[in-house]
Amino acid sequence: MTDRPTALVTGASRGIGFAIATRLAEAGYDLIMCARRAETMAEAERRLSATGARVHAVQADLAVEEDVRRLIGVCQEKCDQLDVLVLGAGIGTGGPIEEVPLRHFDKLFAVNVRAPYTLVQALLPLLRKGAAANPRQGAKIIALASITGVYPGPELAAYGASKAALGALCRSLNAEVSASGVSATVISPGFVDTDMTQWVRDEVDPAGMITTADIAELAMTVTRLSVNAVVPEMVVTRPGGQLHRA
């Protein structure tokens, strides 16, 4: 794209993904972004471009293999190297184990695990080039998971299992590739004030939720760490009696 650092952010049109994409753009990164909905993606692209970043938006449903492959193709075409990969796209569903249909389970794993695995697998050569070009800091993979992948929550077995798998992927990546300058961090927050927590707002006041700015700040901290500092996971919880709970 340019001689500026480049980041790919999935799920970048709203919520935590948009907050991180905004911070990256303001820090001087050019962006490839993807989102499932064309209308929210267009608005996010407009706002991110206003920072002065070059933004290339790709409409993609990461539950669809062809869309994942098309996103990979765009990155390979547009980028000589990749400095940051933010795995922000994700979906959630809840319900008792005996009631959640297997098709919902399969879609959770398609979006929350298979798509990140596919993206990392295909884009590692670009990330290694990014690390080689910036040996002081290397290249960073930042995956957005959930506290339910670390500590159990009722009626969130399928969702928690998918986020636990994403965390395991990041830890395995570090064991395999961090010596080459590419490291992965999974951020696992409790309830964040986004559209995804609308379902619980009758029980949890949004004013007491973690903010998207909190998570974006942690993500930006990871991008500034030296190549010698590998942070496998950050668990972010709400205060008081909600420790170790969403």
Per-residue confidence (pLDDT) for residue 45, from 0 to 100: 94
Q: Are 16 and 215 in contact (CB under 8 A)?
A: yes
E-assigned strand segments in 48-115: 55-59, 84-87
Catalytic residue list contains 151: no
Higher pLDDT, 3 or 170: 170
- Residue of 29, 117, 151, 159 marked active site: 159
Instruction: Write the DSSP symbol of residue 228.
Output: T
Furthest-apart CA atoms within the chain: distance in Å: 52
pLDDT, one tens digit per residue, over 22-77 is: 999 999 999 999 999 988 999 999 999 999 999 999 999 999 999 999 999 999 99
Spatial separation of the C-alpha atoms in residues 236 and 216, rounded to whole Å: 12
Instruction: Tell me the Cα Rg of the chain.
Output: 17
- Judged against a pLDDT cut of 60, whether residue 89 lies above it is answered with yes
Residue 102 and residue 98: Cα distance in Å, rounded?
A: 10
Mean pLDDT computed over every residue of the chain: 94
pLDDT in tens, 154-189: 899 999 999 999 999 999 999 999 999 999 999 999
Closest C-alpha to 89, from 103, 69, 68: 68
12 neighbors 34 (Cβ within 8 angstroms): yes
Higher-pLDDT residue of 2 and 230 is 230
Span 6-242 CATH architecture: 3-Layer(aba) Sandwich (3.40)
